[in-house]
Amino acid sequence: MARALIIAIYLLFSATIAIAVFLFTGATTGFLSGVVLALGCFQVDSNARNRRARRMTERRIADLTRRLDQVLNDIGLRINDASKVIETRTSVQNGKIMAELQVLESLVRGFAARVPQEAGRVTEIAPPRERSGSSRISLDSPGEGELLQSVRRALEQSRVDLYLQPIVTLPQRKLRFYEALSRLRAEDGSIILPAQYVKLAASAGLMPRVDNLLLFRCVQIVRRLAQKQRDIGVFCNISGDSLIDAEFFPKILEFMHRNRDIAGRIVLEFAQETVQHLGVDGETSLAALAQLGFALSMDQLESLEMDFAKLRRLGFRHIKVRARALLHGTGNADAATAAVDLRKHLERYGLNLIAERVEGEDTVKQLLEAGVDFAQGYLFGTPRAVGDDWLRTLAPNDDVAPLATLRKAS
């Protein structure tokens, strides 16, 4: 409406001027004057409208620019806030872990102090209480007594090293798990292997302390692997003593409960003999760990005559069998049982079969023919000590290769 009024004014003004010119100079001149004047008015109006439109566009661009800057600034602030939150949570988590380590170490020192200190001949060290599956042993030589003292001091001073051995998928040989193994370090730097210290430590009631430290290190490894976006689990060996220790198992359970967010990446492993002699209390402990989401594994098999359905109910998901026994039978199992039949039998109960102690390519070929999906052994990597340098250099897509950067096991 306003635009039509302006046009009418332009036309009226031009007509008025044209009539005036017509009265003084004639019709032709008056007509041309009116046309030229009308065109001039329309041109001036068009220029004015273009300037207004340009100014409006510039204002809109400036407004949009301000809004965009504000949005980008808000995004930047949110990213900074998120980074601070992540850093805070990481710091808190690391603080919790370090606090837990200090608690565990203090428990180790406190209990280790109860172990007899006298050097020389030790007649007998009894466990703190009766444990099913644990036997009392006599230390009849000075060497055994000295070894026990070395074990005690290693625990007291947290000289417990973590070694990792890869568990791979077949046939790709892709790294899927690590098995974590504990090694004690004597004061002179020599390594004390489990075969040397386990029975002594068990008879003295020290194995729960070893397990505590090992579990802590396993949690550390899993969290570092998760930070590197590595979808790799860790098998952690636990003694039967820890499951039935009324003093320490509740602490272990509490620790695992606080770390249940990584339950899918930690597999707790027990020897067959341990599982067979657990009793009601031990099985209750296994069930408590399984309820937190931690899978269980059985190794050191001497017989395949087991209640696999019961193992599944207890929370077991993996069964390890030595490759030689798997392919040729065990002393207490039917030697004619084919590996493929065992694999299929375990599958019916939701159990994974892992062939361990694989040392040759011929063995791998036979395992592939039997359809075995997982394998472990020196062929794929020896146990190697974990160091901070190795953790920092984990690459996102490497497989067994990182083990080359670890220290060789003694």
Band of the pLDDT at 316, cuts 50, 70, 90? Answer: very high
For 184-204, what is the mean pLDDT?
84
Q: Mean pLDDT score of the chain, rounded to an integer?
A: 76
pLDDT-derived band at 381 (thresholds 50, 70, 90) equals very high
> Does residue 20 form part of some domain?
yes
**DSSP, residue by residue, 184-247:** EE-TTS-EE-HHHHHHHHHHTT-HHHHHHHHHHHHHHHHHHHHHTT---EEEEE--HHHHH-TT
Q: State yes or no: pLDDT of 252 exceeds 80.
A: yes
For residue 105, is it within any domain?
A: no
- 359: confidence class by pLDDT, cuts 50, 70, 90: very high
* Total structural domains within the chain: 1
pLDDT over threshold 90, residue 310 = yes
Does residue 24 form part of some domain?
yes
Q: Using the predicted structure, report yes or no on whether residue 291 has a pLDDT greater than 70.
A: yes
Mean local confidence (pLDDT), 322-346: 73
The answer to the question of residue 33 being in a domain is yes
| Residue 40 included in any domain | yes
CA 311 – CA 218 distance, rounded (Å): 24
**Structural domain that includes position 69:** 2-73
Q: Within a domain: residue 157?
A: no
Q: Is the pLDDT of residue 166 over 60?
A: yes
37 lies in a domain? yes
Range of weakest confidence among 61-65, 215-219, 331-335: 331-335
- Let me know if 269 is exposed, middle or buried by CB neighbors in 10 A (0-12, 13-18, 19+): buried
Sign of CA pseudo-dihedral 218, 219, 220, 223? positive
Confidence of residue 106 (pLDDT cuts 50, 70, 90): low
DSSP structure string for 94-131: HHHHHHHHHHHHHHHHHHHTTS----S----B--SS--
Q: Is 58 a domain residue? A: yes
pLDDT digits (tens, 9 = 90+) for 361-370: 999 999 999 8
Is residue 342 scored above 80 in pLDDT? yes
Interacting residues of 140 by C-beta distance below 8 A, sequence separation 6+: 121
